[in-house]
């Protein structure tokens, strides 16, 4: 047995400089070691849908799991715990002992660019997913890092915006997933958000980090900043933020030593933070095994199978008139596959959750393998991109060791496509704040038409086309919404080309930009023909000649992306027109949607079946084919309400509530987000929270409560019987909502407080038990600074979505229950 580490003795043996050195990263992904005392370095890795490792783009491949909203759509905590354990194995393969996951911010609005990465609009569903994920991950000895604490519900002005959240919704909604991860799952790390809350940056927020997280909830783990989210040398340490990331330090180091020596910061505060860094290293086993191994790209069959299962179990069957699905295809039939995503699998969102997947299963290839003898034809139909598509050719870049292209070329690097991201992957010997680079690319037009050429960069960039300077991201360069807001907005040039025309692009990049982007640099070169009427017509013609048409529509990692929000919830480009015209040409049209948040569906009445597949990870095509063909049942339920109109959504029309005014975004809707908002206002919605159809039919009967009167402190148990009354195996999600029939505080019409997923064979029945403690009946009373369940009658509602309540029973709370928050 390994001897426990005497952390206090280590701290006693350290100089102030050594203690301070522990409080910032050594580099992008590791902590600082102290070799003379045997203090190891700990490596962290981005999640939450895969362990990427130390190279941001094109490093060793890894398993890509479904995104956060797709995991939550399973409504299956046991399966999510299994997923967490698999991700722990993946983290170890990358030499990491800390995974930066899960993301549990709520889907407050429909605009947030990271809604795909979050679990749900509902705090209970989000917290159940978080607890399962953390438990599974930490069972492998890898620490989870729940993020982003707290109020990080949009990407607009994300590095500075203040989320001004009243105390009641802060407690009831936004803090709940963090609270339960701490209290129930014993999460080991917490990451603070970029944002401010009520004017104070989260890394400096003493009330929330020390008073709430540590003192009230009892969190004894490590708090780290998000990357480049550290602002105040002294305030962050006093707030209890232990680790500034990434390294090398910008705000700690010598500044922190000076603050202690000048008497602005007590040495004990530094020691407390250093203690927690050492404690993390011990908990994850780094003292016992200090070696950080080389990254491995093992492609594990068990993880492939799990990802494929997750994809099907999270897929939500939104509509299925006349049992259009599953498909009953026969040899000799023709199926028209329409849309880019049929052949270019959309497996994940963009930003820090992005990984270099082992492979990407495409729906067309998977359907061809599953349906021998069926003729599948493909037509792209319409564009779906946000930025001009990359050129699918290698890009070789030459480097100079200055920002002026002076002297000899000192290094060369090749990217598999025309995007290169220097996030810890710059060639050795180059200064990330002082280099220049040049590449030459050759583009050949495949068809006649208007073409787009583009540049995006985190530094100065410019390009010539056949010697003509046409792309200028150099003169007057300024930061925009790309590359985590360190990149400029896309610069475009259009020209008409004939088939076979050749264009030579010479592209130059320089770091000579004010601020230096924290040494985080990237270059993106786009070139593509713009699609138009002829492409839609070709798709419609193929659909008209086919027995079945399947349209793959939606978004991609450019729209669902860290660093920038969505402009709305309509499908981009001409996708809505494409679907409507294909459906008019072929009544047997199925639509497969992929997005990380709701969409408007103006053509919904014209198609018999719609499947929401999210971004389901590397087995994307196989999982979608399994559901379409009936090899697997669609097991998903919506974790987020889909509104009928964007005008009905939370914060619409009030800039102060979204996106914010003068650096502040006001959470003026109080506790009314998601289905709470729509139900309180009587909105009709497109698809309600918890909605999802099946290939079979279920009955929920026999709701019974174990008591009719509750005394303060009691637990209520509800039982319900679920029966599969249809012809196929499938799963049902029993959802329990609580309605307070009369309340002093304004409360939502109902709130999800328990759920259970049940898999049943045809004719099989099972009784499900759901337990509710006092918090299930309580609201947060600001005046009392306490959780308060008010005496009176509560209705227990059980159903298959927030809008499909099948049974109701009432229970009476005999007297008030009050639980003050710890101070």
Considering only the C-alpha atoms of the chain, give the largest distance between any 2 of them, rounded to a whole number of Å: 84
Catalytic residue among 226, 535, 560, 781: 226
Domain boundaries, the chain: 1-39+197-221+229-283, 309-385+533-632, 395-528, 696-820
Could you say which of 2.170.120.40, 3.30.1360.100, 1.20.1090.10, 2.60.40.10 is the CATH number of the domain covering 696-820? 2.60.40.10
- The answer to whether residue 481 scores a pLDDT higher than 90 is no
What is the pLDDT, as a whole number, of residue 513? 86
**Number of Cβ within a 10 Å radius of residue 333:** 16
In whole angstroms, give the CA distance from residue 21 to residue 32: 7
Q: State pLDDT tens for residues 757-816.
A: 999 999 999 999 999 999 999 999 999 999 999 999 999 999 999 999 999 999 999 999
Cβ atoms 623, 67 nearer than 8 A: no
What would the mean pLDDT of 8-25 be, rounded to a whole number? 98
Least confident of 49-58, 322-331, 421-430, 814-823: 421-430
Based on the residue annotation, tell me whether 226 is a catalytic residue of this protein: yes
Sign, Cα dihedral of 512, 517, 518, 522: negative
Please give the CATH superfamily to which domain 309-385+533-632 belongs.
Glycoside hydrolase family 3 C-terminal domain (3.40.50.1700)
pLDDT tens digit string along 310-349? 999 999 999 999 999 999 999 999 999 999 999 999 999 9
- Tell me the pLDDT tens digit for each residue of 124-169: 999 999 999 999 999 999 999 999 999 999 999 999 999 999 999 9
With a CB cutoff of 8 Å and minimum separation 6, the contacts of 382 are 339, 531, 535, 536, 539, 573, 574, 575, 577, 578
**What residues have CB less than 8 Å from 503, skipping those under 6 apart?**
442, 443, 444, 445, 453, 465, 466, 497, 527
Q: pTM higher than 0.85, yes or no?
A: yes
Where is average pLDDT lowest: 49-63, 143-157, 591-605? 49-63
> Which pLDDT score, from 0 to 100, does residue 485 have?
85
DSSP labels, 469-537: EEEEESTT----SBGGGTBPPPEEEEEEE-TT-EEEEEEEEE--STTGGGG-EEEEEEEEEPP-HHHHH
In the prediction, which pLDDT does 507 show?
A: 97
Residue range 436-456: average pLDDT? 96
Average pLDDT over residues 525-531: 96
Position 516 scores a pLDDT of: 57
Residue 195's alpha-carbon distances to 30, 200, 564, 610, in angstroms, are 24, 8, 14, 37
Q: What is the pLDDT of residue 514?
A: 74
Sheet of 805-813: strand order equals 709-710, 805-813, 792-799, 730-740, 751-760
Exposed/middle/buried for residue 424 (C-beta within 10 Å: 0-12, 13-18, 19+): middle
pLDDT digit string, tens, across residues 540-588: 999 999 999 999 999 999 999 999 999 999 999 999 999 999 999 999 9
User: Is residue 261 very low, low, confident or very high in pLDDT (cuts 50, 70, 90)?
Assistant: very high
pLDDT in tens, 212-249: 999 999 999 999 999 999 999 999 999 999 999 999 99
Q: Which CATH superfamily is domain 395-528 in?
A: Galactose-binding domain-like (2.60.120.260)
Nearest CA to 611 among 623, 588, 594? 594
pLDDT at position 700 over 70? yes
Question: Does 517 score more than 70 pLDDT?
Answer: no
Higher pLDDT, 484 or 620: 620
pLDDT-derived band of residue 56, with 50, 70 and 90 as boundaries?
confident
| 1: pLDDT strictly greater than 60 | no
């Amino acid at each position: 047995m390994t001897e426990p580490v005497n952390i206090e003795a280590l701290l006693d043996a350290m100089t102030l400089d050594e203690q301070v050195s522990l409080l910032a990263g050594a580099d992008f992904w590791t902590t600082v070691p102290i070799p003379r005392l045997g203090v190891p370095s700990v490596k962290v890795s981005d999640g939450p849908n895969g362990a990427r490792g130390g190279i941001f783009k094109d490093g060793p491949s890894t398993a890509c799991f479904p995104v956060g909203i797709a995991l939550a759509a399973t409504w299956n905590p046991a399966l999510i715990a299994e997923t967490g354990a698999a991700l722990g194995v993946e983290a170890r393969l990358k030499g990491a002992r800390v995974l930066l996951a899960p993301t549990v911010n709520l889907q407050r609005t429909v605009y947030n660019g990271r809604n795909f990465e979050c679990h749900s609009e509902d705090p209970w569903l989000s917290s159940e997913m978080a607890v399962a994920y953390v438990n599974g991950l930490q069972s492998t000895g890898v620490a989870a890092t729940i993020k982003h604490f707290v109020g990080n519900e949009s990407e607009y002005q994300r590095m500075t915006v203040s989320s001004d959240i009243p105390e009641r919704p802060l407690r009831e909604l936004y803090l709940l997933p963090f609270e339960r991860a701490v209290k129930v799952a014993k999460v080991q790390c917490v990451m603070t958000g970029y944002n401010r809350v009520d004017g104070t940056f989260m890394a400096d927020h003493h009330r929330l980090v020390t008073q709430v997280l540590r003192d009230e909830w009892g969190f004894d783990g490590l708090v780290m900043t998000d990357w480049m989210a550290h602002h105040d040398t002294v305030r962050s340490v006093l707030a209890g933020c232990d680790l500034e990331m990434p390294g090398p330090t910008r705000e700690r180091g010598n500044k922190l030593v000076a603050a202690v020596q000048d008497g602005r910061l007590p040495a004990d505060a530094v020691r407390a933070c250093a203690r927690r860094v050492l404690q993390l290293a011990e908990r994850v086993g780094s003292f016992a095994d200090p070696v950080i191994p080389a990254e491995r790209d093992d492609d594990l069959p068990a993880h492939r199978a799990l990802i494929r299962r997750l994809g099907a179990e999270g897929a939500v069957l939104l509509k299925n008139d006349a049992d259009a699905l599953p498909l009953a295809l026969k040899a000799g039939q023709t199926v028209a596959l329409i849309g880019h995503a049929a052949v270019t699998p959309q497996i994940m969102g963009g930003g820090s959750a992005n990984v270099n997947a082992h492979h990407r299963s495409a729906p067309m290839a998977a359907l061809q393998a599953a349906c021998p003898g069926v003729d599948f034809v493909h037509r792209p139909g319409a564009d779906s991109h946000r930025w001009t598509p990359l050129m699918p050719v290698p890009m070789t870049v030459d480097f100079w060791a200055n920002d002026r292209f002076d002297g000899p070329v000192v290094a060369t690097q090749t990217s598999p496509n025309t995007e290169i991201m220097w996030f810890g992957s710059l060639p050795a010997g180059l200064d990330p704040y002082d280099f220049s680079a040049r590449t030459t690319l050759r583009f050949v037009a495949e068809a006649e038409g208007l073409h787009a050429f583009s540049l995006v960069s985190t530094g100065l960039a410019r390009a010539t086309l056949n010697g003509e300077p046409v792309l200028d991201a150099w003169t007057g360069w300024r930061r925009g919404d790309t590359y985590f807001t360190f990149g400029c907005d896309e610069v475009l040039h259009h020209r008409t080309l004939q088939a076979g025309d050749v264009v030579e692009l010479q592209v130059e990049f320089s770091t000579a930009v004010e601020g230096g982007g924290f040494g985080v640099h990237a270059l993106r070169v786009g070139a593509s023909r713009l699609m138009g009427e002829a492409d839609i017509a070709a798709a419609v013609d193929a659909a008209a000649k086919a027995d079945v048409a399947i349209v793959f529509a939606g978004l991609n990692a450019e729209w669902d992306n860290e660093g920038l929000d969505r402009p709305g919830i309509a499908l981009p480009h001409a996708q809505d027109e494409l679907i409507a015209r294909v459906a008019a040409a072929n009544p047997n049209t199925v639509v497969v949607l992929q997005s990380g948040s709701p969409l408007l569906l103006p053509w919904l009445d014209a198609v018999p079946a719609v499947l929401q597949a999210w971004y389901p990870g590397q087995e994307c095509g196989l999982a979608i084919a399994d559901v379409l063909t009936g090899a697997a049942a669609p097991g998903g339920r919506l974790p987020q309400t889909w509104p009928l109109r964007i005008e009905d959504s939370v914060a619409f029309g009030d800039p102060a509530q979204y996106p914010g005014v003068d650096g502040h975004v006001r959470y003026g809707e109080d506790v009314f987000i998601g289905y709470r908002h729509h139900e309180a206002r009587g909105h009709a919605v497109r698809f309600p929270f918890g909605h999802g159809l099946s290939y079979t039919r279920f009955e929920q009967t026999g709701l019974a409560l174990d008591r009719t009167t509750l005394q303060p402190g009691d637990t209520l148990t509800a039982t319900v019987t679920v029966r599969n009354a249809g012809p196929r195996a499938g799963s049902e999600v029993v959802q329990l909502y609580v309605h307070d029939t009369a309340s002093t505080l304004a409360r939502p019409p109902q709130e999800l407080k328990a759920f259970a997923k049940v898999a049943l064979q045809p004719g099989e029945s099972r009784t499900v038990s759901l337990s509710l403690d006092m918090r299930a009946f309580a609201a947060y009373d600001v005046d009392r600074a306490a959780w308060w369940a008010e005496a009176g009658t509560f209705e227990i509602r059980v159903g298959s979505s927030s809008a499909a309540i099948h049974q109701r029973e009432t229970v009476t709370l005999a007297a008030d229950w009050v639980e003050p928050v710890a101070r």
